[in-house]
Amino acid sequence: DVKVTQSSRYLVKRTGEKVFLECVQDMDHENMFWYRQDPGLGLRLIYFSYDVKMKEKGDIPEGYSVSREKKERFSLILESASTNQTSMYLCASTPGGRIYGYTFGSGTRLTVV
């Protein structure tokens, strides 16, 4: 069974901390994505990557950065966590092409206090 694994299910961090969210996929997928999901706002794309060391900004990249040093791993970095970054973070991957769907991880619920 194909898998996308997010390193933490729940995280509590303090304002100003640097936060790393890790995502690993075992499907040799080219494309990986980071979304945040908030009630009433749906899924919003933060960053995506279509190849190793390549990254593209999504709709809400401010306050975030990403790293993709290896094909299977896509990391989301909150440079200086703020309370408005409290959210559910979802990682997804896909081989690309219009017939393929996303495989999502189980999500990381981040609370910034």
Partner 1 sequence: TQLLEQSPQFLSIQEGENLTVYCNSSSVFSSLQWYRQEPGEGPVLLVTVVTGGEVKKLKRLTFQFGDARKDSSLHITAAQTGDTGLYLCAGDGSGNTGKLIFGQGTTLQVKP
Closest distance of CB 16 from partner 1, Å: 27
Task: Compute CA distances 47 → 1, 2, 41, 75, whole Å.
Answer: 26, 22, 17, 10
Q: By CB under 8 A, tell whether 84 contacts partner 1.
A: no
To which H or E segment does residue 89 belong? Answer: strand 87-94
Q: By CB under 8 A, tell whether 33 contacts partner 1.
A: yes
Residues 39-78 vs partner 1: string with x where CB under 8 A? -xxxx-x--x-x-----x----------------------
β partners of residue 112? 13
SS (H, E, C) 15-38: CCCCEEECEEECCCCCEEEEEEEE
Return d(Cα 16, Cα 69) in angstroms, integer. 25
Q: By CB under 8 A, tell whether 31 contacts partner 1.
A: yes
Find the part of the chain contacting partner 1 (CB under 8 A) among 14-22, 28-36, 61-69, 74-82. Answer: 28-36
Closest to partner 1 by CB, 16 or 96: 96
Cβ-contact 20, 8 below 8 angstroms: no
Closest to partner 1 by CB, 16 or 95: 95
Binding stretches for partner 1 (CB under 8 A) = 4, 9, 30-31, 33, 40-43, 45, 48, 50, 56, 90, 92, 94-107, 109
